[in-house]
Structure 1
């Protein structure tokens, strides 16, 4: 018999505003402790330097966090030109310095335009991407550099929101991009295109899938509620599990179809798509999981919640 998890059976998604200086897992563990949640996981790491939107899944929501990993992201960042670092951000050792005072805002805009669209990007050695089971940043800290294959990503928009000229010119950018985009690599590539080098000095994630900063809560706000033992208030901040499926069609199941699907059987659902994965709700509005369209048009259960608390 398995060991029972300690903590409350909390289900739902918390949009956390991750603070600077903490790892994503560190911020997750603090949020989990505040909620006294039995089970929790996050949906895509942010560097310790970075702040902003970090969706945290509690309980049954952890079963569906993989779909948020595939979601598009948005960031605000500051790129300092004229300096390159070993890590591509302000925490790394300076590896080169050049005078960027001749760089103009128009030159930055022209260079940035070349990165919009589908491009190939080589991940940083200081990324969380794994090689033989180890994150690249762990190898980099040991002085080991390995060959990384270029990955195809999409930059939907790269807007220059401010430019401050100088020997170390600064560029504020707003980026919308596909999963797997490394903003520090984008900053390095932009600096290289301008001939002076560059690195990230500020990075804030403003959106992850359907979740935005406007929905986010910081650890201090959560702690105030915990200090009052206001678990109802904490739970009221959680968003529904089905929001983890931003790109899926959500189907409503009738009573009979819902019953048989929850027993693990494929069912017919009117107006279902012809292929792919779909989210599933009962006609009461309760989310029950994810299904897949079979070749005969029926919907088969693929990942279901194991309770009806949600």
Structure 2
């Protein structure tokens, strides 16, 4: 008899996967879900197949906190090639424009790059998962359809200019949610008058998570056992993944009320609107919404 429940296990928490290149985020998610025999799973902050790096995989009820992880900042290691624009803004697409770049000095390139630090407006790429009338833009792009995309505000917190060599710029970028690094690289190239596209992209930071805390799928595969204990050691509690959201402890009656979907009155003060809720045994209950007058309404509960 198979040791795996055909319906999957009721496990809750987050696996910090280091996604390999050449794999879509959904494909990585399905591989992890099968390996852990999880009944339910979802990912946060999808990565292009070209990109590698941090991809949090939420198992079970942890999928309910995915949206709160998405709100955090990201960090990327990226290499871009000057002189060529592609239709996908990366090396997997077709070159649509070629321009000379050899006359550009490193100082000129660095100055143009640093001009993007701060609050900027960015046009999302057509090859993206953003939707128009329910249709992902990348599906329209594959049909040769291009639609107007309004610029969106994003923030580039910092750019560490690592190097420039033979037409290749190497950067370390810290940015807000919703930032497209492919668009950033093309915009830098266009400002220089030569165009550019991404040839390597790796997410090295996600909220408070560093790439050193992640594990590759090939490493997870070596931990498979009958009792899942070695694998399950790599499941982090959901509440640990939300360190910037303040904790609120509830008493017995408040816990009962929250579980039944009722709002409660709390004496605990916080400047945050979103709070993590814990029962008297310090078990994580989920996410609540706190009003200025101290009323907590249930938002996403683990019950």
Query: TM-score when scaled to structure 2?
Result: 0.94
1:184 counterpart (182, 186, 189): 182
2:215 counterpart (189, 214, 217): 217
Structure 1 residues 243, 91: closer, same or farther in 2, change over 3 A?
same
Superposed counterparts of 1:59-78, under 5 Å: 59-78=60-79
2:200 counterpart (199, 202, 218): 202
- Stretch deviating more after TM superposition (82-91 or 288-297): 288-297
2:277 counterpart (280, 283, 305): 280
Once residues 8 and 282 of structure 1 are traced to their aligned partners in structure 2, the CA distance between those partners, rounded to angstroms, is 24
Once residues 265 and 281 of structure 2 are traced to their aligned partners in structure 1, the CA distance between those partners, rounded to angstroms, is 18
- For residue 256 of structure 1, report the CA deviation from its aligned partner: 3.8
Give the match for residue 257 of structure 2.
260
Once residues 229 and 201 of structure 1 are traced to their aligned partners in structure 2, the CA distance between those partners, rounded to angstroms, is 41
Once residues 116 and 295 of structure 1 are traced to their aligned partners in structure 2, the CA distance between those partners, rounded to angstroms, is 34
SS of equivalent to 2:56: strand
Q: Structure 1: any 5+ residue segments left out of the alignment?
A: none
Superposed counterparts of 1:66-215, under 5 Å: 66-164=67-165, 166=166, 169-215=167-213
SS of equivalent to 2:281: coil
Once residues 44 and 235 of structure 1 are traced to their aligned partners in structure 2, the CA distance between those partners, rounded to angstroms, is 22
- For residue 268 of structure 1, report the CA deviation from its aligned partner: 3.1
4+ long deviations beyond 4 Å: none
Q: Structure 2: any 5+ residue segments left out of the alignment?
A: none
Query: Is 2:297 the partner of 1:297?
Result: no
User: CA contact under 8 A between 2:73 and 2:175: conserved in structure 1?
Assistant: yes
- For residue 128 of structure 1, report the CA deviation from its aligned partner: 1.3
* RMSD of aligned alpha carbons: 1.7
- For residue 24 of structure 1, report the CA deviation from its aligned partner: 0.3
- For residue 98 of structure 1, report the CA deviation from its aligned partner: 2.7
